[in-house]
Structure 1
């Protein structure tokens, strides 16, 4: 009898840290933060279906990478560079979901990577959250707290991407206070080389700690529909070793005519443009100068999940 198989399409969006404060270092070695996070329209796309793929591998582009690990989980990734197989947090998210749910792993994941790594845009975390949300949809999993616990185990930013709108994140990112999303034009430019998170934190000294009041004020403004001027504690921490990022922030401000800042620990700089035209013009100049760039608008949700069905199969 013919059947139609379910699959899920997930749009996994990048995030900006509109304001990011490094509050201090904990006894366990992690740093406490206070940051306002907001999704933007730059997105990777993730297709998920249960079981083995129903399409041939032959004929796909050379850039397509096939990651095979635990039986029942298949990851295919293309687009911007991303780790293969178990090295990819999307794959580990699938493993963690099945372990948590007590189900036999049986998923195929296709990831079109559009969010660059080592940019502070949360691309890997968005992918991981997309896998969790997609598999929960396919398996009719309704225990949201268990899903969030798995998200926390995968990375500090991952729970944010399971939420909706913007958020004030505190601690190592595990304490989230939802905020309404705002609508604004934005330009992104990626400094090179990328910035590894571990290295960035190694540059942070006690003099770079602040009390979190900037993030609290930015959250209050966002709750009123206004976007605070960007501020990021990693900028002074990285300024000596990465003066190019400071220069890129200044260049972005001049090109957009609006405020600019660093997202995450870098190396992506964002500019808040007064309108779409200003964003496009700034992006064009930066692209001509050799930067990876993107321009568009903010987004209302970190993830969009769409459950669909294949054509009937015999």
Structure 2
């Protein structure tokens, strides 16, 4: 038996620099893993079998329905395992127990992290001896964020997600993740359909934050965070603006989208600050909250 942790992520920056000939967009993003995690265990088996368990997911989460009736071939863990089998010509299979705690379609990268954990775990279970760079190459066939999760920690991501560069870690931070009650279908595709040249930036915001982390250790980074999708949410989703205004009215400023949302996060070096923010939000709304920390 082997086991792997699959951590969620936040995007400290997410810039879009233009559309590619293949239909994807080029991005620059400073990503960071956090200790909200899924957990996978792997056992040898003649065929591939996913056994999902759902822990502390919001009642509205669509993942249990997506995985219903034992039809799991669209689950990214299954896709990752099948892709790895094809890539290596491995003939047997595995039972993969997937314990889910990261909410799905929330911008936290849960599915991509699970896929990366599956590649790492099966690489060990099947004794394939692939390098991280080879696993990242396989992961890109599964999803654009999967290669990042092969490495985790603090990384700059560029291209469509395939270019990953480890950078100096940020100082430890507390993160309050707030799951806003949006119901998106084909969320990422829909959001990118709204992107135009006004949303493009050069990557300098990401580079400047990296420089600040490298030169100063970067204890306070709230004013340096950026997400291109925030302007799109503000333009097309009135409910998003209402929630951000509510948070501001109770003294919680500098709340940012996690990836393509709809989760948002509040970051602080002070645990008490994050706990106070969580209490303030709990007093005005019944939202799913996660108190987390950055992890290497």
TM-score, normalised to structure 1, is 0.82
1:78 correspondence with 2:73:
no
Match of 2:192 in 1: 201
Match of 2:130 in 1: 143
Q: CA deviation at 1:287?
A: 4.0
Following the alignment from structure 1 to structure 2, what is the Cα–Cα distance between the partners of residues 154 and 10? 18
Contact residue 256 and residue 273 of structure 1 kept, 8 A: no
Q: 2:203 aligns with which of 181, 203, 212?
A: 212
Structure-to-structure mapping, 1:158-173, within 5 angstroms: 158-173=146-161
Q: CA deviation at 1:112?
A: 1.1
Q: CA deviation at 1:250?
A: 4.9
Q: 1:242 aligns with which of 237, 242, 246?
A: 237
Q: CA deviation at 1:143?
A: 2.2
Contact residue 197 and residue 265 of structure 1 kept, 8 A: yes
- Indicate the structure whose relative CO is greater, using CA pairs within 8 Å and at least 6 residues apart: 1
Q: CA deviation at 1:257?
A: 5.3
Q: 2:22 aligns with which of 12, 22, 28?
A: 28
Structure-to-structure mapping, 1:47-66, within 5 angstroms: 47-51=41-45
Following the alignment from structure 1 to structure 2, what is the Cα–Cα distance between the partners of residues 255 and 39? 28
RMSD over aligned Cα atoms: 1.9
Q: 2:271 aligns with which of 259, 276, 281?
A: 276
Following the alignment from structure 2 to structure 1, what is the Cα–Cα distance between the partners of residues 105 and 240? 13
Mean alpha-carbon deviation: is it higher for 229-238 or for 80-89? Answer: 80-89
Q: CA deviation at 1:277?
A: 1.6
Q: CA deviation at 1:34?
A: 0.7
1:263 correspondence with 2:238:
no
Q: 1:222 aligns with which of 193, 213, 217?
A: 213
Q: CA deviation at 1:238?
A: 2.1
Distance 1:259 1:30, change over 3 A: same
Q: Residue 236 of structure 2: SS of its match in structure 1?
A: coil
Deviations 1:245-279 (A, max 9, x none): 34434555666756321111110100012411221
Flag the structure with larger Rg: 1
Contact residue 203 and residue 238 of structure 1 kept, 8 A: no
Contact residue 95 and residue 105 of structure 1 kept, 8 A: no
Distance 1:230 1:283, change over 3 A: same
Contact residue 37 and residue 166 of structure 1 kept, 8 A: yes
Q: Residue 160 of structure 1: SS of its match in structure 2?
A: helix
Following the alignment from structure 1 to structure 2, what is the Cα–Cα distance between the partners of residues 157 and 30? 13
Q: Residue 272 of structure 1: SS of its match in structure 2?
A: strand
What runs of 5+ residues in structure 1 fail to find an aligned partner? 1-6, 52-70, 301-314
Q: CA deviation at 1:9?
A: 1.8
Following the alignment from structure 2 to structure 1, what is the Cα–Cα distance between the partners of residues 146 and 156? 14
Deviations 1:167-202 (A, max 9, x none): 111111111111132210110001121441111111
Contact residue 252 and residue 277 of structure 2 kept, 8 A: no
Following the alignment from structure 1 to structure 2, what is the Cα–Cα distance between the partners of residues 274 and 163? 24
1:293 correspondence with 2:289:
yes
Match of 1:310 in 2: none
Match of 1:307 in 2: none
TM-score, normalised to structure 2, is 0.87
Match of 1:124 in 2: 111
Distance 1:234 1:74, change over 3 A: same
